[in-house]
């Protein structure tokens, strides 16, 4: 006899249908600061419709976005939704140092929302971070494919030179990001510049439309953080660079600092993952239970819900920090 189904709702972002026996222990614990997911029973008609499907299709249904930019705007100080510049697409910017796993994260996020679980990966991944070139062209990914409400930008890795990072981040945040744009740093040598410009000539031109960044997702390599924590002064350079870049004022929106994602957790023990999370929280001055998300390279319900929770946090804070319309600023100040 087929089991009863439940619907888990994370309004106004996502809902998913799964067999209830697979979701009994997937509620985020309240001591971790997350929202409790409440299973809602299907009506007899809904249940009958789903149960009539083949078993294999009902075991792996995707998450369905229902988010519209501006849904989390708080109507404070007499402000209304019409008083804000609300974009058609909320843009989330991925930043991180080389080998942090930004491109892999794009694929992990995208896979959660794919109707076809066998669809090819969207982002090119460098498996040898020391020798691979990584991402040099800004890449836009709509989540899910074919939608228009959410996009994630994969970017070139951060530099070991803080001045390079400040210049690059300032440009992205103040001028916007364009799909296909080649990113060249001042410190890049002539050989690299020539090679990248040759690639640019062979590729399509960059998008004419610039998207303004609405929130930032800072990606860190959990394994590298742990090694840096356990190293001497020279070995602690990685976490020092993370702290310096994270506190760059261009990455914050008013009082909201970026959300942090820890990758490569599948290479660590559970105690090591917890230790890295707490250490990063103390280092960066953010609550580890609410603003730091551990997303390993694994396909399981807990990881999928962590991805959904991370996106909910990012989009909520993106909405809360949308800019006011110019006419309103003029009315207030003049």
Other beta carbons within 10 Å of 7: 18
- Tell me what pLDDT residue 113 has: 86
The answer to whether the pTM exceeds 0.85 is no
Where do the structural domains in the chain lie, given as residue ranges? 5-61, 90-320
Regions of the chain short of the pLDDT cut 70: 1-65, 127-133, 202-205, 233-235, 326-334
pLDDT in tens, 33-45: 443 333 344 455 5
pLDDT in tens, 147-164: 899 999 999 999 999 999
Long-range contacts of 78-86 (CB under 8 A, 24+ apart): 79/324, 83/324, 83/325, 83/328, 84/322, 84/323, 84/324, 84/325, 85/322, 85/323, 85/324, 85/325, 86/322
DSSP-derived 3-state class of residue 246: helix
- Tell me what pLDDT residue 257 has: 97
- Tell me what pLDDT residue 127 has: 64
| Cα 77 to Cα 73, 81, 186, distances in angstroms | 12, 12, 43
| Fold designation for 90-320 | Rossmann fold (3.40.50)
């Amino acid at each position: 006899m087929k089991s009863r189904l439940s619907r888990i709702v994370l309004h106004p972002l996502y809902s998913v249908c799964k067999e209830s026996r697979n979701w009994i222990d997937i509620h985020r614990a309240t001591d971790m600061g997350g929202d409790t997911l409440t299973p809602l029973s299907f009506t007899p008609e809904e249940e009958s419709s789903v149960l009539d499907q083949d078993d294999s299709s009902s075991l792996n249904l995707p998450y369905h976005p229902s988010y519209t930019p501006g849904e989390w705007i708080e109507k404070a100080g007499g402000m209304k939704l019409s008083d804000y510049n609300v974009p058609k697409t909320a843009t989330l910017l991925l930043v991180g140092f080389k080998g942090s796993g930004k491109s892999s994260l794009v694929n992990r996020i995208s896979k959660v929302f794919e109707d076809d679980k066998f669809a090819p990966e969207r982002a090119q991944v460098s498996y040898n971070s020391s020798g691979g070139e990584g991402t040099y062209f800004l890449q836009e990914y709509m989540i899910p494919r074919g939608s228009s409400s959410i996009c994630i930008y994969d970017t070139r890795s951060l530099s070991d030179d803080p001045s390079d990072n400040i210049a690059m981040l300032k440009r992205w945040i103040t001028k916007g990001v364009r799909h296909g744009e080649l990113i060249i740093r001042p410190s890049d040598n002539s050989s690299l510049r020539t090679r990248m410009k040759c690639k640019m000539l062979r590729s399509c031109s960059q998008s004419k439309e610039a998207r303004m960044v609405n929130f930032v997702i800072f990606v860190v390599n959990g394994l590298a953080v742990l090694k840096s924590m356990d190293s001497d002064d020279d070995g602690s350079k990685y976490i020092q660079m993370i702290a310096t870049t994270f506190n760059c004022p261009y990455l914050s929106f008013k009082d909201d600092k970026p959300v942090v994602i820890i990758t490569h957790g599948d290479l660590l023990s559970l105690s090591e993952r917890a230790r890295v999370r707490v250490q990063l929280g103390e280092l960066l001055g953010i609550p580890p239970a609410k603003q730091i998300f551990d997303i390993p390279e694994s396909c399981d319900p807990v990881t999928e819900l962590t991805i959904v929770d991370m996106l909910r946090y990012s989009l909520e804070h993106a909405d809360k920090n949308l800019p006011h319309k110019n006419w309103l600023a003029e009315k207030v100040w003049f």
